[in-house]
Amino acid sequence: MSGPAQRLTLDHGAWLELFEPFLARDDTPALFAALMHEVPFEARAIRLFGREVMQPRLVAWVGDAEAVYQYSGMQYVPTPFGPTLQALRGRVQAACQTRFNSVLCNLYRDGQDAMGMHSDREPELGPNPIIASLSLGESRRFVLRHRQGKSHTQADLLLTDGSLLVMRGTTQQVYRHGLPRARRVTGPRINLTFRYTDARLRRTG
């Protein structure tokens, strides 16, 4: 059972919750192995500055049938939840007191895999989505930077094995976040970012 969350207040209505640990460390190796077997990780391209480039990590989009998602000009139809992800979804929903119908699964094979600075602001997520980020495996540095520069509150966190970071409020509107490369990291990390996706919001937004 996880303990109470640490709250980190940012600027302009943005805030974070950090559960560390969220999962018992004795449980994480088996969960990692189960996800490697269950989740269909694959290399995918995104459109960047008018051309397609491969993402520097492996990814999978998992969700309920209605959780169709568009990103960087690509449409993602979800793979159904497997038993391990379904169980983790239940635990994360209980901690966050909200419903999630989808999860973006990222596999960082080593420190050369990374995530560029971005915000989760796709119309399907709504104006102020709750994004819950569960980490398994190697610890990695996670950064948040205000869109208006260094005069505002920033965050620089080490996300450890079994931790859960929840981005709330206006975080996706006023901040960008990313996972830099880490040359000294040689092992893999799985990151599960749970969210609620409603494709109708793209059509009406």
**So what's the pLDDT on residue 50?**
65
Residue 188 has pLDDT above 60, yes or no: yes
pLDDT band per the 50, 70, 90 thresholds, residue 158: very high
**Helix axes 28-38 and 83-96, enclosed angle (nearest 10):** 120
Distance CA 193, CA 179 (A): 13
Domain at 163, CATH number? 2.60.120.590
Specify the DSSP class assigned to residue 91: H
Number of Cβ within 10 Å of residue 52's Cβ equals 12
16 lies in a domain?
Answer: yes
**So what's the pLDDT on residue 202?**
74
Q: How many domains does the chain have?
A: 1
Between 12-26, 30-44, 45-59, 157-171, the lowest mean confidence (pLDDT) is in 45-59
114-135: pLDDT as tens digits:
999 999 999 999 999 999 999 9
Specify the DSSP class assigned to residue 123: G
193 lies in a domain?
Answer: yes
177 in Cβ contact with 142 (< 8 Å): yes
1 lies in a domain?
Answer: no
- Quick one: average pLDDT of 161-170? 98
Residue 1 has pLDDT above 60, yes or no: no
> 24 lies in which domain range?
6-204
**So what's the pLDDT on residue 203?**
63
111 lies in a domain?
Answer: yes
Number of Cβ within 10 Å of residue 96's Cβ equals 19
68 lies in a domain?
Answer: yes
